[in-house]
Structures are given as structure tokens and as C-alpha cells.
Amino acid sequence: MSENVAKNPQDEDIEQVEVKKGFLHFIEKTGNALPNPAILFGIFALVVLVLSFIGWLLGWGGTHPGTHEQVYVENLLSRDGIHRIMLYTVRNYTSFAPLGIVMVALLGIGVAETSGLLKASINAILAKAPAKMVTFIIVFTGLISNVASDLGYVLIIPLAGVIFHSLGRNPLAGMAAAFAGVSGGFSANILISTQDPLLGGLSTAAAQIIDPYYYVLPTANYYFMAVSTILIAILVTLVTTKWVEPRLGTYKGDVPREAMEQPTALEKKGLRNAGLVCLAWIVLLVAGLIPENGILRGLDGSLMGSPLLRGFIAILFMIGATAGMAYGFTVGKFKKAEDVIFSMNDNIKTLASYLVLVFFCAQFIAWFDWSQLGLLLAINGSEFLQTVNMPVWLLIIIFVVFTAIMNLFMGSAAAKWALFAPIFVPMFMLEGLSPELTQAAYRVGDSITNILTPMMVYFALVIVYFQKYDKKSGIGTIIATMLPYTIVLFIGWTLLLIVWITAGWNLGPGAPLFLPTT
């Protein structure tokens, strides 16, 4: 038989998939061969100290685009640097934003979980939800959760693992899908989120460098972001079902599966009582928001400045705790008030490894910020972009890539945009691009690498979520699992933006792509 027989195309596809799987396996194995994440963050922090000293010796610096002042690397091994480290170590830890948020949220969620409310609710929902839609629903819920700030990180991601595990699917795949929705698609939403007025305000200040009367509305990117939400939900669902889940395979861990069962009559009564409690909360919240002088509106009377959005974790705690108590006392899980406190105690115990990890993570992020290394990386990278002359579509793609890379070193979307906006908004305006377009491109790049960088403040928490089901999970596991999402989101989301530009559609109400020519 001839040796030149043509290969079956399907066999070639299988071989290509195996090569790609092998690459991801290499990333995971290499990443997980690194020390324990807590130790690794400690090493990162020490590296920052050394680099700050080297940068100080070599005079690394740059010009801040907003203040036009010279920025230099701060030597953290100097007398002042060492004093700062000693004085602020405790504050770095206790003021680390996700720490308090996670602990408060877990207190309320813990009552709902221990009472059996979460399990009964999941069973009731999944019993009626089409199996093929579960992944899409999880991703979509994660996407729109950013309207309530950090809700997705503390509730949607771990809940997705429980749901997938209940269905006999790999819980790591469920959490990966939710993480991609919550963080990889962070800017996208069918609603106006807290990010919109924040970024819009920074864009307005930057645009007024060129045009003192220019104003970027909070709805500047609404049309584009609403369509992006649907696209991202579809892309993440496809990556999960076609790539991530097959790669992870069947879950073989020792965490018991919570089988889906139809609620009993007593559980249905408990769900009804918990539902009534939630309904009462909704009525109270709406009553505080609807009137123009509503108590839950911002000081300026706006909905976007509402403490409900900025302080949603406190609301989550109260709703979770009261609904959990309503269910627990109804079904007999709770007999007295002390049982509720015990349920909180048990759930806080699960945070032990996270509390240790956060200590080192908080020091690393604080020291990196103090050293000015991240700021100088961003400044020098942006200066390079300014020297390049290219077509609009290529300029947008490179700006997205640049932002995505900078996001690996600077986690805060608002902080980066406060730095980038005074550079890129005026620069692109002089090229005829609207501030709204520059902002939209920034939001794409700023989101897609959130799921890969330890600089994202909730990255450590996601590691802990994964370790619940797989004790060997580490940074390598997260990066290898999430890398396909980043690649697909970069291609798909950027392509949508290019198509949008080509079609000439407004990005939002009264938000054109290009400035009018005079």
C-alpha cells in the first residue's frame, strides 16, 4: 500500500487539537511547578524591591502625561522605603479591597448555603432550565453582574462550580466560564454600569484638552457594549463547551456531587418564604430609588451615584442572611439564633488559605504601586505608540493589544484610563477619532487579559475557588484554563469593533466614531 495516502482531514484536526492541548498542558505544568501561590507572591514582592533599587540606580523615569511632571522609580530599599514598608504592612493587608468584600459577602452567603437555600434554589432552577442553555446563562449572568461591582467574583464564580458539579460536569469548567464572563468581559453589559460614568468622566477631562466644550456621556459606548455582551456570552459558551470542558475532562476529585432533586413540599415552602423575603427587599430598594429624593439615590440625586451600586456587597449580605434564615427556620435546619451564627463561623473557616494568600498578594501589589514601575511601563509603552503612523483599523488593533499588555501590570481599569486618557484621547482626536471610540477600544483591551494576570485583585480568590475541587490547582492551572478565552475574546471582540467602525455605527446615543471635519 502506498505511503503517500492522504490523511483524513478529521485526523489532522485531532492532531492539531492534541498539539494545542499539549501546549496548554505545558503552561499548566510549568505554572504549577512554581511554589505555592502565597510563596510566589512573596517572591514577586522581593523582586519588586530589587528592581526598584536597580531602577533608582539607573535613573529610570518618564514624563507623566497628565501632570507633565517627571516620574522616577522609587527605591523601596532606601531609608524612607523601608520605613514605609514597616509602617504600612498591616494597612496593606487590612485595606486590600477584596478581603473585606469577600468576608462580608461570605457571611451572608454562608447562611444561605448552610441553610440549604442555595442547593434547593439551584435544584429548582436547573430542573426547569434547558441543559444546553446552562453555560450561556451562567456566562450572561456573570457579564451583567458588573453592574453590582464585585458581585460576580464572590457569588457567580463559585456558584457556577456548584451548578456544573450538580449536573455531572467538571466544576472547574463552570468556574472558568463564569470567570471569563465576570472578568474577561468586564466592560460589557446590557445595562449602564458604574464603569460607564467613571470612564466617561476621565474621557471628558482628556477630550477638553483639545475641545473645552466636549462632553463624553455615561452612555457613550452603550450600543457597542450591549451588542458585545451577547457576542461575548456566545464566544465564552463555545470556548467552554468545545475546548475547555473537553480538555479538563470528567471531574475525578473527592468533592461530593450535589445531585439535583425536585424540592420536597417542605423545601418548596421554605423557597416560598425565602422568595417573599427577597421580594420585600426588592420593594424596599425600589422605594428608595424611584422618588427623585429617594434615600438610596446619590447625593446629587442620580441613580448611578446610588450607594446601592457602590455598596451592593452589604445588600448581598443582608439579603443572603435573611433569606437563608427564612428558609432554614422553615425547613428545620435552624432551631435557634445561635445556629445562624454557627453557620457563619463554619463558612469563615473556609477562608483560611485565602487569608494567608491575600497577605502576600496585598504586599506585592502595594509595593509594585509604590515603586512606580507599573506607571513607567505604561508611560514608555504609550510613547512608543505615539511614534507610529498607521490606518485607523490597525491603530485601533494595536491600541487594544497595548492596553491588554499594560493590563497585565496595572490592574485598575480607572487608574490606567486616568493615565492613558490624557495621552490617547487628544492624540486620536487630532487624527479625527472620537473620544468615545478611543474609550471603547480601551475597554476591550482592558478586559480580555483580566483573567490572566495576578495583578487582578481577585485572581488569588479564583485560585482558592479552583483548589476547592482540585488541591493541585495553582497559577498555571488558571492561566492554562483561561488562555483560550483571552485569545478568542481578543479576536472576536476586536473584530466586532473593526466591523462597527467599518459600518460607521454610533457607539452610543449621540456618540459618533469620528469627529466632524471643518
Cell numbers given for 348: 469563615
CA–CA dist 259, 494 (Å, integer): 40
Q: pLDDT tens digits for 469-481?
A: 998 888 888 999 9
Handedness of CA 7, 9, 13, 16 (dihedral sign): positive
Q: pLDDT tens digits for 334-361?
A: 999 899 998 888 878 777 777 887 898 7
The set of long-range contacts for 168-171, using a CB threshold of 8 Å and a minimum separation of 24, is 168/257, 169/245, 169/251, 170/245, 170/248, 170/249, 170/250, 170/251, 171/251, 171/255, 171/469
Residue that has been written with the C-alpha cell 503517500 in this structure: 4
CA–CA dist 89, 220 (Å, integer): 40
CA–CA dist 307, 410 (Å, integer): 26
Per-residue confidence band for 299, with pLDDT thresholds at 50, 70 and 90: confident
Cell numbers given for 338: 445561635
Instruction: Please answer whether residues 287 and 281 qualify as being in contact, where contact means their C-beta atoms are separated by less than 8 angstroms.
Output: no
CA–CA dist 30, 476 (Å, integer): 7
Q: pLDDT tens digits for 54-66?
A: 999 999 988 876 5
Instruction: Please answer whether residues 334 and 344 qualify as being in contact, where contact means their C-beta atoms are separated by less than 8 angstroms.
Output: no
Share of the chain above pLDDT 70, in %: 85
Q: Look at residue 409 in the predicted model and tell me its pLDDT.
A: 78
CA–CA dist 284, 279 (Å, integer): 9
Q: Pick the closest to residue 434 from 378, 491, 508 (CA basis).
A: 508
Share of the chain above pLDDT 90, in %: 36
Per-residue confidence band for 148, with pLDDT thresholds at 50, 70 and 90: low
Has residue 422 got a pLDDT over 80?
no
Per-residue confidence band for 19, with pLDDT thresholds at 50, 70 and 90: very low
List Cα–Cα distances, 475 to 37, 340, 376, in angstroms.
7, 35, 26
Instruction: Please answer whether residues 138 and 181 qualify as being in contact, where contact means their C-beta atoms are separated by less than 8 angstroms.
Output: yes
Per-residue confidence band for 274, with pLDDT thresholds at 50, 70 and 90: very high
Per-residue confidence band for 67, with pLDDT thresholds at 50, 70 and 90: low
Q: pLDDT tens digits for 220-247?
A: 999 999 999 999 999 999 999 999 999 9
Instruction: Please answer whether residues 150 and 458 qualify as being in contact, where contact means their C-beta atoms are separated by less than 8 angstroms.
Output: yes
CA–CA dist 508, 207 (Å, integer): 17
Chain centre distance of CA 490:
15
Handedness of CA 378, 384, 387, 388 (dihedral sign): negative
Instruction: Please answer whether residues 511 and 274 qualify as being in contact, where contact means their C-beta atoms are separated by less than 8 angstroms.
Output: no
Average pLDDT over residues 401-413: 82
The DSSP annotation for 302-328 comes to -STT-HHHHTHHHHHHHHHHHHHHHHH
The residue with greater pLDDT, 505 or 9, is 505
Half-sphere exposure of 57 (CA within 13 A, CB side): 7
Per-residue confidence band for 181, with pLDDT thresholds at 50, 70 and 90: very high
Which one-letter amino acid corresponds to residue 211? D
Per-residue confidence band for 277, with pLDDT thresholds at 50, 70 and 90: very high
Q: pLDDT tens digits for 184-233?
A: 888 888 877 767 877 888 888 888 877 888 988 888 999 999 999 999 99
Backbone angles phi, psi at 61, to 5 degrees: -165, 180
Per-residue confidence band for 13, with pLDDT thresholds at 50, 70 and 90: very low
Instruction: Please answer whether residues 76 and 99 qualify as being in contact, where contact means their C-beta atoms are separated by less than 8 angstroms.
Output: no
Which one-letter amino acid corresponds to residue 205? A
Q: Provide the mean pLDDT of the chain.
A: 83
Has residue 259 got a pLDDT over 70?
no
Q: pLDDT tens digits for 355-398?
A: 887 898 788 878 988 988 877 876 776 677 667 667 888 889 98
Q: Look at residue 4 in the predicted model and tell me its pLDDT.
A: 43
Instruction: Please answer whether residues 216 and 195 qualify as being in contact, where contact means their C-beta atoms are separated by less than 8 angstroms.
Output: no
Instruction: Please answer whether residues 246 and 148 qualify as being in contact, where contact means their C-beta atoms are separated by less than 8 angstroms.
Output: no
Half-sphere exposure of 335 (CA within 13 A, CB side): 0
Q: pTM for this one?
A: 0.70
Q: Look at residue 194 in the predicted model and tell me its pLDDT.
A: 64
Residue 262: helix, strand or coil by DSSP? coil
The set of long-range contacts for 473-477, using a CB threshold of 8 Å and a minimum separation of 24, is 473/32, 473/172, 474/31, 474/32, 474/34, 474/36, 474/37, 475/31, 475/32, 475/34, 475/37, 475/40, 476/27, 476/28, 476/29, 476/30, 476/31, 476/32, 476/33, 476/34, 477/28, 477/31, 477/32, 477/172
Domain boundaries, the chain: 33-503
Residue 460: helix, strand or coil by DSSP? helix
Q: pLDDT tens digits for 115-145?
A: 888 777 766 766 666 778 899 999 998 898 8
Q: Look at residue 210 in the predicted model and tell me its pLDDT.
A: 79
The set of long-range contacts for 254-261, using a CB threshold of 8 Å and a minimum separation of 24, is 255/165, 255/171, 255/468, 255/469, 257/165, 257/166, 257/168, 258/119, 258/122, 258/162, 258/165, 258/166, 259/166, 260/122, 260/123, 260/126, 260/127, 260/166, 260/167, 261/123
Residue that has been written with the C-alpha cell 445562624 in this structure: 340
Q: Counting Cβ atoms within 10 Å, is residue 206 exposed (0-12), middle (13-18) or buried (19+)?
A: buried
Residue that has been written with the C-alpha cell 483580566 in this structure: 450
Q: pLDDT tens digits for 423-470?
A: 788 878 877 889 999 999 999 999 999 999 887 878 888 998 999 999
Q: Look at residue 14 in the predicted model and tell me its pLDDT.
A: 41
The DSSP annotation for 361-407 comes to HHHHHHHHHHHTHHHHHHHHHHHHHHT----HHHHHHHHHHHHHHHT
| Chain length of the chain | 518
